[in-house]
Amino acid sequence: VGDAWAGSMDLWRRVVDVNLLGVVHGIRAALAVMSEQGVGHIVNTASMAGLGAAPGIAPYFATKHAVVGLSESLFLELLAKGSPIGTSVLCPGFVQTDLMDKEPETLADPLAQMMNEFLRTGVETGIPAAEVADQVVAAIKADRFWILTHEDMREGPVERMRRAATGTNPTLPELGS
Protein backbone atom coordinates (compact mmCIF):
# COMPACT_ATOMS: atom_id res chain seq x y z
CA VAL A 1 0.00 0.00 0.00
CA GLY A 2 1.39 3.39 -0.95
CA ASP A 3 1.50 6.05 -3.64
CA ALA A 4 2.25 4.00 -6.76
CA TRP A 5 2.41 7.02 -9.04
CA ALA A 6 4.36 9.69 -7.16
CA GLY A 7 6.06 7.66 -4.42
CA SER A 8 9.34 5.82 -4.58
CA MET A 9 9.84 3.17 -7.27
CA ASP A 10 11.16 0.99 -4.44
CA LEU A 11 7.54 0.10 -3.68
CA TRP A 12 7.09 -1.33 -7.18
CA ARG A 13 10.44 -3.15 -7.09
CA ARG A 14 9.71 -4.78 -3.74
CA VAL A 15 6.22 -5.93 -4.72
CA VAL A 16 7.30 -7.19 -8.16
CA ASP A 17 10.31 -8.99 -6.68
CA VAL A 18 8.27 -10.80 -4.05
CA ASN A 19 4.86 -11.34 -5.64
CA LEU A 20 5.86 -11.98 -9.25
CA LEU A 21 9.53 -12.91 -9.49
CA GLY A 22 9.25 -15.05 -6.34
CA VAL A 23 6.62 -17.14 -8.16
CA VAL A 24 8.75 -17.30 -11.32
CA HIS A 25 11.77 -18.53 -9.35
CA GLY A 26 9.60 -21.07 -7.52
CA ILE A 27 8.20 -22.45 -10.78
CA ARG A 28 11.64 -22.69 -12.38
CA ALA A 29 13.05 -24.59 -9.39
CA ALA A 30 10.06 -26.89 -8.82
CA LEU A 31 9.32 -27.60 -12.48
CA ALA A 32 12.85 -28.90 -13.09
CA VAL A 33 12.55 -31.40 -10.23
CA MET A 34 8.98 -32.39 -11.08
CA SER A 35 9.88 -32.91 -14.74
CA GLU A 36 12.76 -35.15 -13.75
CA GLN A 37 10.47 -37.15 -11.44
CA GLY A 38 7.61 -37.26 -13.95
CA VAL A 39 5.05 -36.16 -11.38
CA GLY A 40 3.99 -33.06 -9.46
CA HIS A 41 1.56 -30.20 -9.13
CA ILE A 42 2.46 -26.51 -8.97
CA VAL A 43 0.18 -24.22 -6.98
CA ASN A 44 0.85 -20.52 -7.47
CA THR A 45 -0.61 -18.09 -4.98
CA ALA A 46 -2.25 -15.09 -6.60
CA SER A 47 -5.27 -13.48 -4.94
CA MET A 48 -8.76 -12.31 -5.77
CA ALA A 49 -6.77 -9.14 -6.47
CA GLY A 50 -5.51 -10.97 -9.57
CA LEU A 51 -9.06 -11.00 -10.91
CA GLY A 52 -10.09 -7.44 -10.13
CA ALA A 53 -8.90 -3.92 -9.39
CA ALA A 54 -9.07 -1.35 -6.61
CA PRO A 55 -7.62 2.10 -5.97
CA GLY A 56 -4.58 2.73 -3.83
CA ILE A 57 -2.80 -0.60 -4.25
CA ALA A 58 -1.84 -0.87 -7.94
CA PRO A 59 1.50 -2.73 -7.55
CA TYR A 60 -0.15 -5.53 -5.56
CA PHE A 61 -3.03 -5.92 -8.01
CA ALA A 62 -0.71 -5.77 -11.04
CA THR A 63 1.54 -8.53 -9.72
CA LYS A 64 -1.39 -10.73 -8.73
CA HIS A 65 -2.85 -10.34 -12.24
CA ALA A 66 0.54 -11.39 -13.58
CA VAL A 67 0.58 -14.51 -11.38
CA VAL A 68 -2.87 -15.52 -12.69
CA GLY A 69 -1.71 -15.01 -16.29
CA LEU A 70 1.58 -16.84 -15.93
CA SER A 71 -0.15 -19.70 -14.09
CA GLU A 72 -2.72 -20.11 -16.85
CA SER A 73 0.05 -19.96 -19.46
CA LEU A 74 2.02 -22.63 -17.56
CA PHE A 75 -1.11 -24.81 -17.32
CA LEU A 76 -1.63 -24.54 -21.09
CA GLU A 77 2.05 -25.14 -21.90
CA LEU A 78 2.16 -28.29 -19.77
CA LEU A 79 -1.13 -29.45 -21.30
CA ALA A 80 0.21 -28.87 -24.84
CA LYS A 81 3.31 -30.93 -24.00
CA GLY A 82 1.26 -33.76 -22.50
CA SER A 83 3.07 -33.28 -19.20
CA PRO A 84 1.87 -35.18 -16.13
CA ILE A 85 2.55 -32.08 -13.99
CA GLY A 86 -0.52 -30.16 -12.87
CA THR A 87 -0.93 -26.46 -12.24
CA SER A 88 -3.36 -24.51 -10.09
CA VAL A 89 -3.73 -20.86 -9.23
CA LEU A 90 -4.86 -19.98 -5.72
CA CYS A 91 -6.97 -16.82 -5.59
CA PRO A 92 -8.02 -16.38 -1.98
CA GLY A 93 -9.98 -13.51 -0.55
CA PHE A 94 -9.00 -12.41 2.91
CA VAL A 95 -7.13 -14.99 5.01
CA GLN A 96 -5.99 -14.68 8.61
CA THR A 97 -2.22 -14.24 8.13
CA ASP A 98 0.57 -11.83 9.08
CA LEU A 99 0.34 -10.16 5.64
CA MET A 100 -0.07 -6.66 7.06
CA ASP A 101 2.43 -6.96 9.92
CA LYS A 102 5.24 -5.21 8.05
CA GLU A 103 3.04 -2.46 6.59
CA PRO A 104 3.01 0.86 8.45
CA GLU A 105 -0.01 1.55 10.68
CA THR A 106 -0.57 5.00 9.18
CA LEU A 107 0.17 6.48 5.76
CA ALA A 108 0.24 10.12 4.67
CA ASP A 109 -1.85 9.58 1.54
CA PRO A 110 -5.58 9.44 2.47
CA LEU A 111 -6.43 6.86 -0.22
CA ALA A 112 -3.53 4.63 0.81
CA GLN A 113 -4.58 4.98 4.47
CA MET A 114 -8.15 3.97 3.60
CA MET A 115 -6.92 0.88 1.73
CA ASN A 116 -4.48 0.07 4.54
CA GLU A 117 -7.34 0.04 7.07
CA PHE A 118 -9.58 -1.96 4.73
CA LEU A 119 -6.85 -4.58 4.22
CA ARG A 120 -6.06 -4.82 7.94
CA THR A 121 -9.72 -5.41 8.77
CA GLY A 122 -10.07 -7.93 5.96
CA VAL A 123 -7.05 -9.96 7.08
CA GLU A 124 -8.13 -9.88 10.74
CA THR A 125 -11.62 -11.16 9.85
CA GLY A 126 -10.60 -13.49 7.02
CA ILE A 127 -10.96 -17.24 6.85
CA PRO A 128 -8.45 -19.45 8.67
CA ALA A 129 -5.36 -20.49 6.70
CA ALA A 130 -6.18 -24.16 7.43
CA GLU A 131 -9.41 -23.78 5.45
CA VAL A 132 -7.42 -22.50 2.48
CA ALA A 133 -5.01 -25.44 2.81
CA ASP A 134 -7.92 -27.90 2.71
CA GLN A 135 -9.22 -26.28 -0.49
CA VAL A 136 -5.75 -26.44 -2.07
CA VAL A 137 -5.41 -30.15 -1.29
CA ALA A 138 -8.88 -30.82 -2.74
CA ALA A 139 -8.01 -28.90 -5.93
CA ILE A 140 -4.75 -30.81 -6.39
CA LYS A 141 -6.55 -34.14 -5.96
CA ALA A 142 -9.18 -33.04 -8.51
CA ASP A 143 -6.52 -31.61 -10.87
CA ARG A 144 -8.45 -28.32 -10.84
CA PHE A 145 -6.77 -25.14 -12.07
CA TRP A 146 -8.87 -22.47 -10.34
CA ILE A 147 -8.89 -22.29 -6.52
CA LEU A 148 -11.18 -19.45 -5.46
CA THR A 149 -11.54 -19.81 -1.71
CA HIS A 150 -14.38 -17.37 -1.10
CA GLU A 151 -17.70 -18.35 -2.69
CA ASP A 152 -19.14 -14.88 -2.03
CA MET A 153 -16.37 -13.17 -4.07
CA ARG A 154 -16.72 -15.18 -7.30
CA GLU A 155 -19.24 -12.88 -8.96
CA GLY A 156 -16.85 -9.87 -8.93
CA PRO A 157 -14.55 -11.12 -11.72
CA VAL A 158 -17.57 -12.26 -13.76
CA GLU A 159 -19.14 -8.81 -13.48
CA ARG A 160 -15.81 -7.22 -14.44
CA MET A 161 -15.70 -9.31 -17.63
CA ARG A 162 -19.32 -8.34 -18.39
CA ARG A 163 -18.26 -4.68 -18.18
CA ALA A 164 -15.31 -5.41 -20.45
CA ALA A 165 -17.52 -7.20 -22.98
CA THR A 166 -19.96 -4.30 -23.10
CA GLY A 167 -17.32 -1.55 -23.02
CA THR A 168 -18.58 -0.25 -19.67
CA ASN A 169 -16.09 1.73 -17.59
CA PRO A 170 -14.80 0.25 -14.32
CA THR A 171 -16.63 1.06 -11.11
CA LEU A 172 -15.26 1.62 -7.64
CA PRO A 173 -15.36 -1.54 -5.53
CA GLU A 174 -17.49 -1.56 -2.41
CA LEU A 175 -15.05 -1.49 0.48
CA GLY A 176 -17.62 -1.92 3.20
CA SER A 177 -17.84 0.26 6.29
List, by residue number, the catalytic residues: 60
A 10 A CB-CB count for 119 gives 20
List own/partner pairs for 67-72 with CB under 8 A and 24 or more apart.
Answer: 67/19, 67/20, 67/23, 70/20, 70/23, 70/24, 70/27, 70/44, 71/42, 71/44, 71/46, 71/145, 72/145
CA distance 126 to 54: 18
Residue 102 CB-density burial (10 A; 0-12 exposed, 13-18 middle, 19+ buried): exposed
The span from the CA of 155 to the CA of 137, in Å, is 23
Q: How far apart are CA 23 and CA 3, in angstroms?
A: 24
